[in-house]
């Protein structure tokens, strides 16, 4: 389908953008682990191919996790870190619905068994995101590796930097500009949300508490809004 192809093309460009965000933290290159852990990327791909078909919705989850990681201090896997005081990035409101952490941990354990202390979690998350999309029928895009894992994970930074579904255009553009990203990047990264599903709390305010007839946001397609109210977000 033409629409589906366009969406997948958007995803390729999107994660090219994310690669640039992460490149500030390390010198990225293709096949970074060719000498130090030559089977690394194949191990990731094999695990993804084995398990993602059983839970294909995780592809969208890993894309989202990857973006939420990259938008805070670059693509450094800081979103994976835990905090005994509940002050890590994963404790931030936008990250409370992230899932798939155990999947990343299992991939990490396989790589540690093959090459202890070599492959970064940041590269693992980036590769899993790409390979999950490919496995569910999406396109392939090149992923340079060599990212360094971050050691700082701050809930406030995540709450401040990760865009909210309730932000207006001006705020979104400011948040992206703060990361060195422009209007084109904003459009492409927003388009990445064409994979996966949304949650009713993200749109319920526009369905029930807006200024249009019946509480519907007048900027929404009225037929689509009524369908959501009747069948999805009651």
Question: Residue 89 annotated as binding?
Answer: yes
Question: Residue 192 annotated as binding?
Answer: no
Q: Which CATH class is domain 39-162?
A: mainly alpha
Least confident of 8-12, 97-101, 193-197: 8-12
- The CA distance from 195 to 168, in Å, is 22
What integer is the mean pLDDT of 116-130?
97
- Supply the pLDDT for residue 185: 87
- The CA distance from 225 to 106, in Å, is 40
- Beta bridge mates, 145: 29
Residue 172 tokens, joined: 């979104």
Residues making up the chain, counted from first to last: 234
- The CA distance from 64 to 93, in Å, is 14
What residues have CB less than 8 Å from 211, skipping those under 6 apart?
217, 218
Q: How confident is the model at residue 2 (pLDDT cuts 50, 70, 90)?
A: very low
pLDDT in tens, 178-207: 888 899 988 888 777 677 777 898 889 999
Highest mean pLDDT among 104-118, 138-152, 196-210 belongs to 104-118
Sorted by where each begins, the domain ranges of the chain are: 39-162, 200-232
Q: Contact, 10 vs 188, CB < 8 A?
A: yes
What integer is the mean pLDDT of 52-77?
93
Q: DSSP label at 145?
A: B
Determine whether 59 is exposed, middle or buried from the number of CB atoms within 10 Å of its CB (0-12, 13-18, 19+): buried
Catalytic residue among 66, 68, 167, 199: 68
What is the Cα 148 distance to its own chain's centre? 18
pTM of the model: 0.81
Question: Residue 123 annotated as binding?
Answer: no
- Supply the pLDDT for residue 113: 98
Q: How confident is the model at residue 24 (pLDDT cuts 50, 70, 90)?
A: very low
Can 68 be counted among the known catalytic residues? yes
- Supply the pLDDT for residue 15: 59
Q: Contact, 134 vs 59, CB < 8 A?
A: no
Q: Of 83, 46, 49, 231, which Cα lies nearest the Cα of 157? A: 83
C-beta atoms surrounding 207 within 10 Å: 21
- Supply the pLDDT for residue 139: 84
197 vs 67: which has the higher pLDDT? 67
Question: Residue 131 annotated as binding?
Answer: no
């Amino acid at each position: 389908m033409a629409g589906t192809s366009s969406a997948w093309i958007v995803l390729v460009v999107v994660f090219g953008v994310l690669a640039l965000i992460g490149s500030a933290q390390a010198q990225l290159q293709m096949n970074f682990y060719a000498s130090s852990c030559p089977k690394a990327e194949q191990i990731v791909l094999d695990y993804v191919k084995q398990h993602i078909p059983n839970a294909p919705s995780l592809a969208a989850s890993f894309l989202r996790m990857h973006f939420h990681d990259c938008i805070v201090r670059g693509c450094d896997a800081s979103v994976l870190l835990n905090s005994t005081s509940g002050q890590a990035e994963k404790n931030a409101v936008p990250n409370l619905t992230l899932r798939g952490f155990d999947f990343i941990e299992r991939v990490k354990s396989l790589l540690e068994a093959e090459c202890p202390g070599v492959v970064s979690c940041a590269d693992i998350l980036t590769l899993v995101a790409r390979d999950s999309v490919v496995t569910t029928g999406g396109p392939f895009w090149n992923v340079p590796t060599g990212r360094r894992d971050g050691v700082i994970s701050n809930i406030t930074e995540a709450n401040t930097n990760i865009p909210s579904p309730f932000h207006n255009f001006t705020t979104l553009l400011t948040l992206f500009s703060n990361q060195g990203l422009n209007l084109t990047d904003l459009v492409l990264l927003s388009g990445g949300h064409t994979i996966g599903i949304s949650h009713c709390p993200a749109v319920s305010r526009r369905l029930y508490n807006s200024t249009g007839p019946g509480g519907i946001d007048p900027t929404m397609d009225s037929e689509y809004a009524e369908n959501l109210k009747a069948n999805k977000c009651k």
